[in-house]
Amino acid sequence: MVIMRPLAVLRHDLPASLVVFLVAVPLSLGIALASGAPVAAGLVAAVVGGVVAGALGGSALQVSGPAAGLTVVMYETIQTFGWAVTCAITVLAGACQILLGLSRIARAALAISPAIVHGMLAGIGVTIVLGQLHVILGGKAQSSAVENVAELPAQIVAHHDSATIVGLITIALLLLWPRLPQAVRKVPGPLAAIALATVVSVVSGMTLPRVELPGDLLNIHLVPQLPDGGWGGFALAVVTIALIASVESLLSAVAVDRMHTGPRANLDRELVGQGTANMLSGALGGLPVTGVIVRSSTNVTAGAKSRVSAVLHGVWVLLFVVLLAGLIQSIPLAALAGLLVHVGAKLVNPGHMKTVLAHGDLPVYLLTLTGVVVFDLLTGVLAGIGLAVVLMLRRTAWSGIHIEREGDDWRVVVEGVLTFLSVPRLSKVLGTVPDGATVRLELVVDYLDHAAFESLHTWQQAHERAGGTVEVDEVGHPWFGEGKAGRPTRSRIAASQAVPRWLAPWSEWQAAEAVDIPAQQTRRGATEFHRRAAPLLRDTLSGLADGQRPRTLFITCGDSRIVPNLITTSGPGDLFTIRNIGNLVPPGQADPSMNASVEYAVGVLGVEEIVVCGHSSCGAMAALADGPPPGPLSTWLRHAEPSAHRLGSATLDGAVPAREGDRLALHNVLQQLDHLREYPAVAAAESAGKLQLTGMYFHVGDAQVYMFDAAERTFRPAGAPVVVPGT
């Protein structure tokens, strides 16, 4: 069994590695060409990336190698420092990646906005396309995207030779390949396109530039060389390549994790593996290595199960280069340029644009793209980060401030985060309120800083001195009220402990002057519903306008502390509720009102559950225990006498309540369930399995809901397993 497991893994990884190898070779050659590096540098990076990063990295199925994401910055670096110094930069960039991985801060890279990453890739794609179009048209790529654009019209109208034919054949095959039968598509599109374009060029005897390789690829010398000067630019290039390679590798690893169900990536280990591969690749004269989403997704799709596939793909690249170097030298550069135009165009993904537009980040995407194309990759990314930070600050500090007139009064509403950044606009709005007016200031704020508090407080004092009236209504945490009381709230953590208005009683959120005026409390509550809740519930209620289909009949006490929709987290249309003193269902169907309600709920509405909910500190049960005084209450509580004489003992999570009234409340719930079973409609529905009867108990002081467990004969806390009879 110990031997069979590696063999079983290899059965998947070996064929997957061959597929990835076939994709990697042409891409590695094309990326080296676009980077302005020796073509062999792309193959060295493919070998090292596959073997070293595959073996040491933290992502089991990610495949590493030279990536299109670094072509622009590598081209600029090579043009500035030369190839030997660029190799030294790659070595030091790898060392930086190792330090980042050992520092365990890899996840910080995920804080970069996706809009910046997608904009960066799109900018790289545009730059690659603009440069490689010149190669396809028989010319030579210029040193910048702007120059490529300027020279492109003349290149288009110029005489075109065989290079154009080969480039167009390559692009056409890449576009056509996904539409071919699946049996044909088992051969990777890039490999097929390069191979067919090469065959056409050789058979037709075309004379055009082709790939050049050193005479002996195995004769590797240590290439890295430090610069003679310009250390500031040298250091900046090291940091730039390290950061871009790290971000691209980490984002690729995260994307690969979403494609399979195997082990998740260790991002810190992945950085160490990538850094080690870059140090070795640079030392051997190779391009920088990153995790590559194209090869990685191919690896997953091909059925790879472990990192063995990535390692083997690197071995196949090495063997191919050593044994078939002459075949590689037959590949036209125009064919590789056609491949790169196709790859670059795919980096400009319309789906990404739609996504960032939906999230409001299109400006960040466009600025990053433009910066990469017009200037360079680092400038574009930094510009995107700067704009993303500005937009983040704007959104974080945003506050909606508007004013409206209500008859002779004025209503000012402030929503969001109210900080010093909003004070000028707040002052402008408050300045439009006439002197002497009655103003209702509604603060629906997540945070109120000192500057905003002072502005509001100063305006309130000035307005009231001028004969006006200001009523401050804070929805949520009383930031302003606490500040006036000399207890300013310093953080949102403290504010989050405030009970939301829709859960708190009137006494906790209505103004003190309204507490002694019940009618005013009701009016303010209705106004609050109209302003806050109604717009949110309008669609729900419109769907219930022509009828109701509740699933539960809820019978409970009329006690004001019991709020059925609150303790069951339900809303309009969910509960058909009956409330009376003591949550009683009179035996023998002695109460016409209860009879009609039960028959309507079961027979007409077809509810699937009936809940009887008692509660602690119930006044009806206390009166039953002590003997109620003569009068209507005494007459009504006669219906509860069977509960008082019920045999056995109901417990609350295995314990008997200390107070007799609470013990009676538990017995009473079970007794009312028995009374419900005397209804023919209830009994028939329950026996048919269409109706469930549930006992519930609410402990007011603990805010704890208990459900009756028939198997254990006890009320257990909600969330604990409950055994339903008959299941």
**Cα gap 579→564, rounded to integer Å:** 10
Q: Which of 449, 618, 699, 716 is catalytic?
A: 618
Q: Which of 257, 473, 559, 662 is catalytic?
A: 559
> What does the buried/exposed string (b/e) look like for 603-632 if buried means 16 or more CB atoms within 10 Å of the residue's CB?
eebebeebbbbbbbebebbbbbbeebeeee
**Cα gap 109→124, rounded to integer Å:** 19
* CA-closest candidate to residue 423, choices 450, 403, 404: 450
Active site residue 228: no
Q: Is 307 helix (H, G, I), strand (E, B) or coil?
A: coil
* CA-closest candidate to residue 26, choices 349, 343, 347: 343
**Cα gap 154→133, rounded to integer Å:** 12
**Cα gap 360→364, rounded to integer Å:** 9
Q: Contact, 239 vs 18, CB < 8 A? A: no
What is the separation of C-alpha 583 from the centre of its chain, rounded to a whole number of angstroms?
46
Active site residue 160: no
Active site residue 561: yes
What the block records as the tokens of 725 is: 């009879």
Q: Contact, 612 vs 597, CB < 8 A? A: no
What the block records as the tokens of 178 is: 């996904």
What's the DSSP call for residue 377? H
Largest CA distance in the chain: 117
Look up tokens 């306008």; give the residue.
545
What is the separation of C-alpha 677 from the centre of its chain, rounded to a whole number of angstroms?
49
Q: Which amino acid is at 425?
A: R
Cβ neighbours of residue 172 under 8 Å, at least 6 residues apart? none
What's the DSSP call for residue 212? -
Burial of residue 341 (CB within 10 Å: 0-12, 13-18, 19+) is buried
**Cα gap 112→43, rounded to integer Å:** 30
A 10 A CB-CB count for 413 gives 18
**Cα gap 412→401, rounded to integer Å:** 7
Q: How far is CA 589 from CA 335, 404, 594, 665, 687, in A?
A: 90, 56, 8, 21, 19
**Cα gap 229→82, rounded to integer Å:** 13
Q: Which amino acid is at 144?
A: S
Q: Contact, 371 vs 145, CB < 8 A? A: no
Q: Which of 615, 639, 663, 667 is catalytic?
A: 615
Q: Positive or negative, the Cα torsion across 353, 356, 359, 362?
A: negative
Active site residue 449: no
Strand order through the sheet with 692-699 = 575-580, 552-557, 609-615, 692-699, 704-709, 714-717, 651-652
Q: Contact, 439 vs 470, CB < 8 A? A: yes
Active site residue 613: no
For residue 467, list its beta bridge partners: none
Q: Which of 561, 626, 702, 713 is catalytic?
A: 561
Q: Which of 557, 613, 675, 699 is catalytic?
A: 557
Q: Which amino acid is at 84?
A: A
Look up tokens 């031997």; give the residue.
3
Catalytic residues: 557, 559, 561, 615, 618
